[in-house]
């Protein structure tokens, strides 16, 4: 739903294609995934027929890590690479030590709600809604496990630009964000925004300008963008 709003706010030459993950939305009847690399391979096979035009990939938080692994999975399928990878709101794949410690074991409902409060992106009214939390917490539990159980694989660098977006008050340090530069044999840049983990909502206009400006230098105005989100 977040990315659907972007359709109205990005330039006309840029098409947004939100990626829905198994176990939610229209894919609610599918099993939730806790293996991020397996999910990336699944999505790569699903998206492969759609990638006939040049494209970019954007992911925020866990979605950024998934976008990174999706890019590698598409390369394994011999697909044309994205023109740019946007990684937003999370540490680089080689700097996941904080996440491995905190998320590798399944969290209780109370622990998940505490985590949501600390991320400051969910209202107390939503957290207090028992019916909504009953639907949401199993998805969040699987996502946290997927994050905590991820293990980096050493591979050749991606031959495409990586542009990283970070929040000044988010948990990822500048060193963890800059480490994304180790994953590309091409250009790397880092843009910082005021705010915490959900700076992409607080500064949506600036974030979209960053995406549009970055892509406008790499393609003509007939392209598509794939987005993943946590």
Number of H helices, E strands in the chain: 10, 6
- pTM for the predicted model, two decimal places: 0.89
**Mean pLDDT over residues 84-95, rounded?**
96
CA angle 225, 191, 189 (to 5 degrees): 75
Q: For residue 211, what are its two tokens?
A: 């995406």
Question: Residue 96 and residue 113: Cα distance in Å, rounded?
Answer: 22
Q: What is the pLDDT of residues 22-65, one digit of tens each?
A: 998 899 899 999 999 999 999 999 999 999 888 999 999 999 99
Question: Which is the catalytic residue, given 4, 26, 31, 61?
Answer: 61
Residue predicted with more confidence, 109 or 188: 188
Q: How many angstroms from the chain centroid is the CA of residue 67? A: 6
Residues 6+ apart with CB under 8 A from 190: 163, 164, 165, 166, 174, 177, 178, 180, 181
Q: What is the pLDDT of residues 144-160, one digit of tens each?
A: 899 889 999 999 999 99
pLDDT at 204: 95
Helix (H) or strand (E) holding 228, with range, is: strand 223-229
Residue 88 designated active-site: no
- Could you tell me the domains of the chain? 2-94+154-229 (3.40.50.1820)
């Amino acid at each position: 739903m977040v990315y659907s709003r972007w359709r109205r706010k990005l330039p006309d030459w840029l098409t947004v294609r939100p990626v829905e993950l198994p176990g939610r939305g229209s894919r609610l009847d599918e099993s939730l995934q806790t293996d991020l690399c397996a999910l990336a391979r699944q999505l790569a096979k699903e998206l492969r027929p759609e990638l006939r035009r040049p494209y970019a990939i954007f992911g925020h938080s866990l979605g950024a890590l998934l976008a990174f692994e999706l890019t590698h999975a598409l390369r394994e399928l011999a697909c044309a690479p994205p023109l740019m990878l946007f990684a937003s709101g999370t540490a680089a794949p080689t700097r996941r030590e904080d996440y491995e410690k905190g998320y590798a074991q399944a969290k209780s409902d109370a622990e998940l709600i505490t985590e949501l409060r600390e991320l400051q992106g969910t209202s107390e009214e939503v957290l207090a809604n028992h019916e909504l939390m009953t639907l949401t917490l199993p998805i969040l539990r699987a996502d946290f496990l997927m994050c905590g159980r991820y293990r980096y694989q050493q591979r050749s660098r991606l031959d495409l630009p990586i542009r990283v977006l970070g929040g000044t008050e988010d948990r990822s340090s500048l060193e963890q964000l800059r480490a994304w530069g180790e994953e590309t044999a091409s250009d790397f840049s880092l843009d910082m925004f005021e705010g915490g983990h959900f700076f992409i909502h607080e500064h949506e206009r600036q974030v979209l300008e960053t995406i549009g400006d970055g892509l406008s230098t790499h393609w003509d105005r007939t392209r598509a963008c794939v987005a993943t989100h946590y």
